[in-house]
Amino acid sequence: MESDVGIVIDPIYMEHRTVEGHPERPERLASIYDMLNIGNYRRSFVSIPARPAEKEELVAVHSPEYIERIEATGGKEFCALTPDTNTSKLSYRAAITAAGGLFEATAAVCSGRVKNAFAAVRPPGHHAERSRAMGYCILNNVALGAAFARDRLGYKRILIVDWDVHHGNGTQHAFEQDSSVMFFSIHQRGLFPGTGVFTETGIGKGEGYSINVPIPKGYGDGEYVSIFQNLLRPVALAFEPELIMVSAGFDAHRQDRMSGMKMSSGGFACLTRCLMEIADLCCNGNLVLALEGGYHIDSMTRSVKAVLDELSGVTTSDTGRAAEKARAQKVEYVLRRSIHVHRGRWKSLNDFGIGR
């Protein structure tokens, strides 16, 4: 039976080729697409066709010169954008269709055609800066999606949650002066790209709307869920987003060697449930997730399935029970630091009695 969950999938996303041995490889998506084809699982979702983003849409986040530079790589076998980010013949096409996939997913949620959506796209996006590719990312899919939602769909407040284990520097920079887009990133301290410390809270009008939670390695399901419930939730409910977008990377999984985190696939389902609850309270459930990192292919695929099961209500994770398993000291460290820098703006954080 079809649910009211949308998915974006497109074979073009596998045409972005990286060098031999690169962790961000087409097989990542091939595995997700295979999983969707098992037992017709895919038929339980509403398929949302992607489209290439237009240049006029890309300039909301990227400079015209940079877009031209990436476009010029089209048809060329190999161009190195950075030491770890390259293009192949169809990378530009894949990248603009990844952004366009986010636009279509967001429009489908906005129109009510689906309740929420997951975009299984690549190349990933959250490290991509205005005029610079970075960390396997070429165009910033989620930032472009949020700009599209704001400029074309009329959303006035958008919350972006980035649970990829790396800091979403590109996304933060796109909106750090903008109070209409709140950016919340939880990531492993000291990992690439090194930004995203607690005191990066936004600039000017955007002060208080960038929330960074850099955590030491070793945090797992309980701690993540507890941080979502005790920090993200009260701030999000005060912000009252009209749409929640997620940079959903799965490299915090305990099997992923990119990080020292201990998340499980069920933990990602729990985080999804936390966000579904916030979205239900604030914005009729409007939630759009996009794939970012996740390099242990099997655990990433299982985690995507767990998230899709949660979105469609096949599972209903018990967030309270998950949070009970959190090691209190690990959570309190984060809450103290965050509340210290954010309680001026977000009064709801003062209720906790910690961090004073």
Name beta bridge partners: 188: 215
Q: Is the peptide bond before 49 cis (omega within 30 degrees of 0)?
A: no
- Using the minimum distance from each CB to Zn ion, give the nearer residue, 123 or 293: 293
User: Which one of 88-96, 222-230, 247-255, 296-304 is the stretch in contact with Zn ion (CB under 5 A)?
Assistant: 247-255
In the bound complex, what is the minimum distance in angstroms from residue 289's beta carbon to Zn ion? 15
In the bound complex, what is the minimum distance in angstroms from residue 249's beta carbon to Zn ion? 4
Q: Cα separation of 356 and 349, whole Å?
A: 11
Question: Which of 196, 241, 249, 285 is close enough to bind Zn ion by CB under 5 A?
Answer: 249
In the bound complex, what is the minimum distance in angstroms from residue 198's beta carbon to Zn ion? 19
- Token digits of residue 48: 């949302």
Which residue sits closest to Zn ion, CB atoms considered? 293
Collapsing DSSP to helix, strand or coil, 238 comes out as helix
Question: Which of 293, 301, 305, 334 is close enough to bind Zn ion by CB under 5 A?
Answer: 293
CA dihedral 264, 189, 352, 345 (to 10 degrees): -120
Q: Cα separation of 122 and 161, whole Å?
A: 18
Name beta bridge partners: 7: 47, 118
In the bound complex, what is the minimum distance in angstroms from residue 110's beta carbon to Zn ion? 28
Q: Which of residues 150-209 bind Zn ion (CB under 5 A)?
A: 164, 166
- Using the minimum distance from each CB to Zn ion, give the nearer residue, 221 or 251: 251
- Using the minimum distance from each CB to Zn ion, give the nearer residue, 127 or 233: 127
Instruction: Indicate which residue of 16, 126, 127, 296 is catalytic.
Output: 127
Binding mask 109-148 for Zn ion (x = CB under 5 A): ----------------------------------------
For residue 238, give the amino acid letter.
A
Known active-site residue 127: yes
Residue 314's contacts (CB-CB under 8 Å, 6 or more residues apart) are none
- Token digits of residue 244: 């929640």
Say whether residue 84 binds Zn ion (CB under 5 A).
no
Q: Is 83 exposed, middle or buried (0-12, 13-18, 19+ CB in 10 A)?
A: exposed
User: Which one of 87-95, 226-234, 251-259, 260-268 is the stretch in contact with Zn ion (CB under 5 A)?
Assistant: 251-259
User: Which one of 28-36, 151-159, 248-256, 272-280 is the stretch in contact with Zn ion (CB under 5 A)?
Assistant: 248-256
Residue 125's contacts (CB-CB under 8 Å, 6 or more residues apart) are 98, 99, 137, 138, 139, 140, 141, 142, 143, 144, 170, 171, 247, 290, 292
Q: Cα separation of 164 and 300, whole Å?
A: 12
Cβ pair 115, 45 in contact under 8 A: no
The size of the interface with Zn ion (CB under 5 A), counted in residues, is 5
User: Which one of 38-46, 90-98, 278-286, 290-298 is the stretch in contact with Zn ion (CB under 5 A)?
Assistant: 290-298
In the bound complex, what is the minimum distance in angstroms from residue 202's beta carbon to Zn ion? 22
Question: Which of 251, 256, 309, 310 is close enough to bind Zn ion by CB under 5 A?
Answer: 251
Q: Which residues are catalytic?
A: 127
Please report, as ranges, the residues that interact with Zn ion according to CB under 5 A. Answer: 164, 166, 249, 251, 293
